Structure 1
Amino acid sequence: MTTMADDTPVGAPAVSVEAPARLAGGLALAVVSAASFGMAGALARGLLDTGWTPVAVTLVRIGLAAVLVLPLGLVALRGRWSLLRRNARLLLTYGCLAVAGAQFCYFSAIAHMPVGPAILIEYTAPAAVVVWLWLRQGQRPGRMTVAGAAVAALGLVLVLDLLSGASLSLVGVLFALGAMVGCATHFLVAGDVDNGLPPLALAAGGLVVGAVLLGLLSLVGLLPLRAGTDPAAYAGHQVAWWVPLLLLGAVTAAVAYVSGIAAGRRIGSRLASFVGLLEVVFSVAWAWLLLAELPGPVQLVGGLLILAGVVAVKVGEPAAGRESAPV
């Protein structure tokens, strides 16, 4: 997930043609965010292979990110504590589903299946958002949106390699679908521009809630918390266990969230979400470089169809709903 929220006023142009430097800077930040987020799966997989549980990796990642982002969120609030009280339910939902739920399910998925298919399944979330808004709020999608969702669904069938009868981890697929639900929740909450929360405050609040939730569930024994100090293997080399953990918290979470927010402020949430699709490409690339994992030809074609379908879904969004989607 590449952007946490957007500060662009509703109805305002996302990009000013008079500010090419601002556009270039925003695009660069969006690419940095996508590349940082995309590294998470490959880094986590190295730790999972040494015996770490998904909840342990997730807890350390978002806990460290919360420590780094929380001061920025407090500064962004500027003493407006009433915003936190008024949006307590929203922060709980965001932290539980979009932060803790999405990351835990994604890391659990890659413990049972390759990184590439897992992230591709997660990124069917925009199509799920369209269906949710249609069923809950009556926002009937246009032909382009329906066509994009159908193409993404076909791509998902190819990514799962269902047509060839290949062996499939049902547990991994279910966890990846759970990550998709968390990702869809992120899009819905981050698109709500009426709550008044500064983006950094939303990011910090979600990270804190997610870390506390996973910590409590681990303490009471509902989620297995297991870690170790064995070195992790990447690209045929052994590295100390704390190296991927530091990168997961500081780079794939803190840097990724903050750069994504900054990108959204400069280029608008719609353009940032398009650039955010590069997270899928970077995830596959990092998995190839660090883990020697590369989807097969059929899965790669399916991945391209998913990306094309998501682009069609975004293009087909109603003009009034491109910059915001009420929760």
Structure 2
Amino acid sequence: MTHDARAAERARLRAGLALAMASAVTFSLSGPLAAGLFDTGWTPGAVVLVRVALGALVVLPFGVVALRGDWRPVRRNARLLLAYGALGVAATQFCYFAAVQHMQVGPALLIEYSSPAAVVTWLWLRHGQRPGRVTLAGIALAAAGLVLVLDLTGARLDPVGVAWALGAMVGVSAYFLLNARADTGLPPLSLAAGGLVVGAALLGLLAAVGLMPVTASTEPVALAGAVLPVWPVLGTLGLVTAGVAYVTGIAAGRRLGARPASFVGLLEVVSAVFFAWLLLGELPRPVQLLGGLLVLAGVVVVQQGEAATRRSAHPGPAGPGTVEPVGAPD
């Protein structure tokens, strides 16, 4: 790989890391905002439906413009868009909230956020992408930190809840794997728009047939020591925690690949603890702070392990007169 190609690769990876962190932080804001709405009578199904539907309305015009009048990528990738909306959007949301109706939030999140391990396993068994020892060490650190952040003291498992949480884990894994598809010809904005539209339609269908209870309220929401009108809270849920989060997540996946992006996504759990403290006054326990540090350390180690893997794939400079292309992410 030439010097210019290596520089371009490093710039692409730095941009991917920044986008992945932005996606994790914006996703994490949804929990505390939703908690404020729950206190005013909103059901989880109503929050999810409004969040995804508003996100679709916001992103759809940009997704259409990004196609530049060429709808062929949409037709070629119709099944991918359906899978992204069904698994990466609707199933993830619906299965998680179904899980927490049968078990505590901590264990449900732990199962859902075991998705990076599922991504690693899938890429290893399906594509032969075996993780290196440094990456495996980072996985272990991040897993230990996740357990501490979620503080599972006295947690109880329910078989039905576990099954729903595993469904959410499959949805999150599909989200990371489909984000990393760089061969579709679909701009990130168009993929996000299509996925959110499909997800909103499926969630709306679940609500219409009564499988997802929907109750809403226009009461003001108490957040960060202030009482806010409900509309800005809903707008933030749709624009930031759905629109921005999905678009940046797709752009990150295409730059980093599914495996590194899924581990950066664990920062969502750490960031959610911070926002719960900032907006809801829920002070994290020392064990959660320690867990957050371990998750951060694990993410850093995984990124270092992935960088070492890439270097081993391109051990030396290219020969005279040759230019190696920058490889597409997984």
- Which TM-score tier does this pair reach, normalised by the shorter chain? 0.7 to 0.9
Deviations 1:191-212 (A, max 9, x none): 1111221111101000001000
* 1:210-289 alignment, distance < 5 Å: 210-258=199-247, 268-269=255-256, 278-289=267-278
Q: Does the CA contact (< 8 Å) of 2:66 and 2:190 recur in 1?
A: yes
Deviations 1:256-287 (A, max 9, x none): 4445667789xx43698787665444322211
Distance 1:104 1:244, change over 3 A: farther
What amino acid is the match of 2:90? A
Cα distance in 2 between the residues matched to 1:315 and 1:26: 14
Cα distance in 1 between the residues matched to 2:6 and 2:212: 44
Shift of 1:187: 1.4
2:191 is equivalent to residue 196 of structure 1? no
Match of 2:41 in 1: 51
Deviations 1:175-222 (A, max 9, x none): 665544333222111111112211111010000010000011111122
Cα distance in 2 between the residues matched to 1:272 and 1:138: 18
Match of 2:329 in 1: 324
Query: Which secondary structure state, in structure 2, belongs to the residue aligned with residue 141 of structure 1?
Result: coil
Shift of 1:133: 1.4
Query: Which secondary structure state, in structure 2, belongs to the residue aligned with residue 230 of structure 1?
Result: coil
Unaligned runs of 5+ in 2: 314-325
Match of 1:75 in 2: 65
Cα distance in 2 between the residues matched to 1:214 and 1:103: 9
Match of 2:317 in 1: none
* 1:52-131 alignment, distance < 5 Å: 52-105=42-95, 122-131=112-121
Report sequence identity in percent.
62
TM-score where L is the length of structure 2: 0.76
Cα distance in 2 between the residues matched to 1:322 and 1:178: 32
Distance 1:28 1:12, change over 3 A: closer
Match of 1:3 in 2: none
What amino acid is the match of 1:222? L
Query: Which secondary structure state, in structure 2, belongs to the residue aligned with residue 14 of structure 1?
Result: helix
Q: Does the CA contact (< 8 Å) of 1:124 and 1:152 recur in 2?
A: no
Query: Which secondary structure state, in structure 2, belongs to the residue aligned with residue 233 of structure 1?
Result: strand
Cα distance in 1 between the residues matched to 2:274 and 2:244: 19
Shift of 1:137: 2.8
Q: Does the CA contact (< 8 Å) of 1:191 and 1:324 recur in 2?
A: yes
Match of 1:5 in 2: none
Cα distance in 2 between the residues matched to 1:286 and 1:302: 16
Cα distance in 1 between the residues matched to 2:109 and 2:9: 27
Shift of 1:67: 0.8
Superposition CA RMSD, Å: 3.7
What amino acid is the match of 1:198? P
The number of equivalent residue pairs is 305
Q: Does the CA contact (< 8 Å) of 1:73 and 1:201 recur in 2?
A: yes
Query: Which secondary structure state, in structure 2, belongs to the residue aligned with residue 13 of structure 1?
Result: helix
Distance 1:279 1:153, change over 3 A: closer
Unaligned runs of 5+ in 1: 1-9, 18-22
Match of 2:8 in 1: 13
Q: Does the CA contact (< 8 Å) of 2:206 and 2:212 recur in 1?
A: yes
Cα distance in 1 between the residues matched to 2:166 and 2:207: 22
* 1:166-185 alignment, distance < 5 Å: 166-168=154-156, 178-185=167-174
TM-score where L is the length of structure 1: 0.76
- Considering Cα pairs closer than 8 Å and 6+ residues apart, tell me whether 1 or 2 has the greater RCO: 1
What amino acid is the match of 2:154? A
Structure of larger gyration radius: 2
Q: Does the CA contact (< 8 Å) of 1:41 and 1:110 recur in 2?
A: no
Cα distance in 1 between the residues matched to 2:7 and 2:54: 35
What amino acid is the match of 2:329? S
